[in-house]
Chain A
Amino acid sequence: MKLRTLVWRELFQRKSQMLTSFLAILLGITTVVAIKNITFYSEKAVARELDALGANVLVLPKSATLQDYYSADMHGEVIPEEYVLRLTMSNVQGVDNLSPKLCVPVNLQGKDYALTGILPKSEFQAKAAWAGAGIFSRPIGCGAIDVAAEPRPDDKRTLVRKRVIETLDTHEILVGADAAASLGLNEGDSLTLLGESFSVVAVLPQTGTVDDSRIFAHLHTVQRLSGKDGVVNCIEIVGCCKEISAGLVDNVNKLLPDAKVVTVKQVVATQTKVNGMMERLSLIFLVIIVVVGGAGIANYMYANVFERRREIGTLMALGAESFTVLRIFLLKALLLGLAGGVGGYAIGTLLAVTLGPRLAGVPVLPMPVLALWAVLISAGITLAASYFPARRAARLDPCATFQEV
């Protein structure tokens, strides 16, 4: 009888116990893979979002959380749009650019998208000059300029990087890359949103952030169509570095006491905290796999060896060496580990890809490197847990086992 056949037959001895041990390993690996996968893409999305954000200060409703901001501001909490002009006209130094946003959900072709109202710069920037003569004492090199000279074509795709665009008509929209792909939209197409027709003026480049599934329209149009006149969900501020450290946030807080003003550094800190928590969670699961899965496998193996000591003795009496017996049990453990690792990776990845966008609000893709880790961890645990039972089997004395029986 070949070693392969022996191992295969050995595997299906005591099926229920084998299945329980296998499930423990499988579920553990599934959980770790799913958490690791979502955390990785969440961190990546945050890094990319921050890199592309440009904005480094956020003005949010008092009750809104930073997570709300990252999940496309679908929280329903609002602040008055007039805050934009209060900021624009204020003496607060260091505000380079502003971008107010209002998000409302829209359902298109059975899928949900975030219709995001944005205010083109042309509609509020001029009012910065109403701050009076004090603007001339502002530091050189801080503040976006608006020179009428040499008009250049307004590339609306820069929205994803600069956070603001110069102009946007009331019935023009910009579509995120994912939304455009799933809706089959191209520049020049038209789309009906909340009962009105809009023309697509730009399909935005892929960012890997929640912006990819957004549809951007003029703020005042979104306000009118959603019945939320004069309000926004958040105001993104591009602040100048020196002024941020010189108290820009405090000054904005004083100007808008009824809003929550946070810097992106705080956002990063919060996000890092969440990611750290996820990391710890996955570590806890790993420990649970090692303890529960390992103990289960060890118990299963010991029981197996004990129950089958006569067969083992017979095998050895027929000439099988100790090493062969050891190999049978270790190969059995390896098979269990490989199956648990591969299965856990597959199910974990599937869960991450399907649930990730809903739980973390970021697109999640499979990570092949996790397959290697999953198999290594799973096989490592099963081999380690099976080693002592296997060694015990290999050291059995055939004569003694026959006497026992």
Chain B
Amino acid sequence: MMRSRREPARVVITTMALLAIWMVVPCQVVAQAVQGRTTSSGTSGGLAAIDAAARNNKYLFIFFWKTNDEQSRNMYGVLQSAMGKLAQSADAVGIQVTDPREKPVVDKFDVSRAPLPLVLAVAPNGAITKGFPVKFDENELRQAFVTPCTARCLKALQDRRLVLLCVQNQRTQFSQAAMSGVQNFKADPRFAKATEIVALNPDDRSEVAFLQDLKVDPRTPTAVTFVLAPPGTPIAKFAGPVTKDQIVAKVTAAQSGPCAGGQCGPNGCGPKK
């Protein structure tokens, strides 16, 4: 009799315990997954992951999160799912922005006030190729992979350097004249330290996407030179030969206006009274 009386209570307790385990364990698993490497050691897992990815010539997706809420868990799920398919070319790491051990990473990217969760895609050369705030999907994550030349330009721009992108090769006309003008600009002491020349071969098939972004035909018969200014603004495009003075004029105009080209803001498209 005694056993039979206790039986229902045991069943209830066991059921409740199982239910509790069923509810808590997945949350813990996700939380640990999101925490990633940061909880496994006393030092910043983020910095280690950045170094490792650069060494292995891989992209790194850094998942910044603050609270273990539904949005963070969902987005981490999206990232994990994408990583399963992109493991060859990318790693991922989770960083809780409030974790004191990860302060160097949070400060490095200055994301303490960023919309969270946030994924930053870091190219092997250290350039941030895309930021994905709050909500993203697998396809969007794939957009973070850029061509080597794009990564070089982004890196230079993120280092606050002016990029003189020379789209040319031996086939294109005025290559020499364009390169000469660009090099003269770089030789100018006013711009020397903060200018980077990036050469782009229009025949390079790996750069087709970049050429598309630049709206340059890969079969272009003439050399094309772009002036890109930080944080990532195209300020001039020259087809054919270009001189230092032409580039200086464009850079000066862009710097002096209330906005580049003076097309907006006061005296631009603001209301006329």
Contacts and interface: CB of A to CB of B under 8 A. Distances in A.
Interface of A: 47, 50-56, 80-83, 85-86, 89, 96-97, 123, 125-150, 161-162, 220, 230, 238-242, 244, 264-265, 268
Nearest to A149: B194
Contact of A129 (B116, B226, B230): B230
A145 B270 CA distance: 20
28 contacts: A50-B273, A54-B270, A56-B269, A80-B115, A81-B113, A96-B259, A96-B260, A96-B265, A126-B158, A132-B129, A135-B231, A135-B232, A136-B153, A136-B228, A137-B213, A141-B260, A141-B263, A142-B260, A143-B260, A145-B233, A145-B235, A145-B254, A145-B255, A148-B230, A149-B193, A149-B251, A161-B258, A241-B269
A243 to B, nearest CB: 9
B255 A147 contact: yes
B235 A126 contact: no
Given A56-B270, A136-B153, A126 B231 contact: yes
B233 A135 contact: yes
Contacts of A137: 213-215
B201 interface: no
A123 B153 contact: no
B271 A268 contact: yes
Contacts of B228: 136
Contacts of B133: 82, 85-86, 89
Interface string B207-226: 00110011100000000001
Contacts of A47: 273
Given A56-B269, A143-B260, A147-B255, 13 more contacts: A86-B134, A89-B131, A96-B260, A127-B110, A128-B232, A129-B230, A129-B232, A133-B143, A140-B234, A142-B233, A143-B259, A148-B160, A244-B264
B230 A146 contact: yes
Contacts of A55: 265
B104 interface: no
Interface string B236-273: 11000000000000010011001111011110111101
A85 B251 CA distance: 26
A298 B124 CA distance: 92
Given A81-B113, A147-B255, A138 B264 contact: no
A133 B228 CA distance: 12
Interface string B107-138: 00010011110001000000011110110000
B38 interface: no
A125 B234 contact: no
Contacts of A80: 115
Nearest to B153: A136
B76 to A, nearest CB: 19
A147 B160 contact: yes
A86 B144 CA distance: 17
A208 B143 CA distance: 48
B154 A129 contact: yes
Contacts of A143: 232-233, 259-260
A396 B193 CA distance: 100
A129 B233 CA distance: 9
Nearest to A44: B273
A142 B232 CA distance: 11
A98 to B, nearest CB: 12
Contact of B233 (A81, A86, A144, A244): A144
Given A85-B133, A145-B260, A134 B213 contact: yes
Contacts of B229: 145-147
B269 A244 contact: yes
Contacts of A140: 234-237, 261
B54 interface: no
A242 B237 CA distance: 19
A148 B191 CA distance: 9
A150 B232 CA distance: 18
B186 to A, nearest CB: 11
Contacts of B261: 140-142
Contacts of A138: 232-234
A161 B233 contact: no
Contacts of B215: 137
A244 B226 CA distance: 25
Contact of B158 (A54, A89, A129, A144): A129
B6 interface: no
Contacts of A130: 120, 128, 130-131
Contact of A241 (B120, B258, B268): B268
Interface string B180-199: 00000000001101110000
Contacts of B129: 132-133
